[in-house]
Amino acid sequence: MFSYRHAFHAGNHADVLKHTVLIATLQHLTEKDAALTVLDTHAGAGLYRLDGDYANTSAESADGIARLVAPGAPALKPALQAYVDMVRAFNQGAATRVYPGSPFIIQRLLRDHDKLKLFELHPTDLRALAGNVAQLEAGRQVAVLHEDGFEGIKKFLPPPARRALVLCDPSYEMKNDYGKVLDMAADSLKRFATGTYAFWYPIIPRPEAHDLPRRLKTLATKAGKSWLHATLTVKSSKMTETASGDTKRPGLPASGMFLINPPFTLKAALKDALPQMAELLAQDRNATHTLESGG
Ligand code: SAM
């Protein structure tokens, strides 16, 4: 079974990018009245405690969400402010103790007639997710499925009202996740060509990670679909030397979001917010961002 637990990473710079993009995308998709189906292929536990044992082990949120809510943080660009407002909505008072994962962010933005399907394979995260979702009392709006999300979404595409957002956020713990993302993207476009698809991926020195956005771009272009690719780098990916002379991996230095059929409003929102994200989350002089689109 997998060892990846999102609780160690909740609220880090990758979550800031992913969840800011998710919120901006959903805000646009819920403007139209017709029902929306959201498929979250890798849901995680849904809610995380930032003051709990897991988050403290690496305290990654200190260099993520915590920097954006810190006293003295500058006025935020609208997309980043919407993200901070979302996280604050799960916390009373000034402290940020609870961090909402994608299932809770999505559910909060849905209307009564929209549907959310959550896929989670890890038994511990599944139990936590099911318990957290039960407290929402959302009834049949939210379904928790103990299934492989790559495969499980097939039965929901195309959705009844022909409007869907698919968020695909694997841990990439296993090398074949990269290939599965591509297979799922190709298969989903065949099933439902007009859906909005959002893929998160880590930017790490590994050929599969490097190739993924390039291959998604080729896929979207060949299918005649529009795409958007945003990346956020917070530090160098080079190994560093510790005081004792050992070499140390830097931790995740960067990540990207690749969207097929993105909302037309997303590019402008990110053009405005990404530079500020890179500036506020910078851990060294290598911090930067990119934003490109096509189709
Ligand atoms: N999307 C979540 C969020 O933004 O809050 C975080 C998800 S985390 C990066 C990835 C999750 O996928 C882990 O909880 C892991 O147990 C789960 N997982 C791994 N492989 C899976 C699969 N094939 N299908 C469904 N869930 C899977």
| pLDDT for position 250 | 78
Distance, C-alpha 78 to centroid of its chain:
18
Q: Is 2 in the pocket of ligand 1 (CB under 6 A)?
A: yes
Strand partners, 291: 230
Q: Global pTM?
A: 0.96
Q: What is the mean pLDDT of the chain?
A: 94
Ligand 1 atom nearest residue 148's Cα: 24
17 touches 257 (CB < 8 A): yes
Asked if 160 and 151 count as a contact pair (C-beta separation under 8 A), the reply is no
Flag whether pLDDT at 3 surpasses 70: no
Yes or no: say if 195 and 157 are a contact pair by the CB < 8 Å rule: yes
Helix 176-191 / helix 207-222 crossing angle, nearest 10 deg? 10
Mean pLDDT of 156-171: 97
C-alpha span between 64 and 96 (Å, rounded) = 12
State the distance from the centre of ligand 1 to the C-alpha of 91, rounded, in angstroms: 24
pLDDT per residue over 112-159, tens digit each?
A: 999 999 999 999 999 999 999 999 988 999 999 999 999 999 999 999
Ligand 1 centroid to 177 CA: how many Å? 11
pLDDT for position 27: 98
Ligand 1 in contact with 146 (CB < 6 A)? no
Q: How far is CA 285 from the centre of its chain?
A: 25
Q: Assess whether the C-beta atom of 263 lies below 6 angstroms from ligand 1.
A: no
- Give all domains of the chain, ordered by start, each with its CATH number: 6-227+259-274 (3.40.50.150)
Helix H or strand E encompassing 167:
strand 164-168
Distance of CA 56 to the CA centre of its chain: 21
pLDDT in tens, 175-198: 999 999 999 999 999 999 999 999
Single out the catalytic residue among 40, 63, 114, 169: 169
Known catalytic membership, residue 114 = no
DSSP type of residue 261: S
Residue 74 has pLDDT above 90, yes or no: yes
Protein residue closest via CA to atom 14 of ligand 1: 44
**What is the rounded radius of gyration, in angstroms, for the C-alpha atoms of the chain?**
18
Q: Pick the range with the lowest mean pLDDT from 175-189, 193-207, 240-254, 268-282.
A: 240-254
Please tell me which of 17-31, 80-94, 230-244 the model is most confident about, judged by mean pLDDT. 17-31
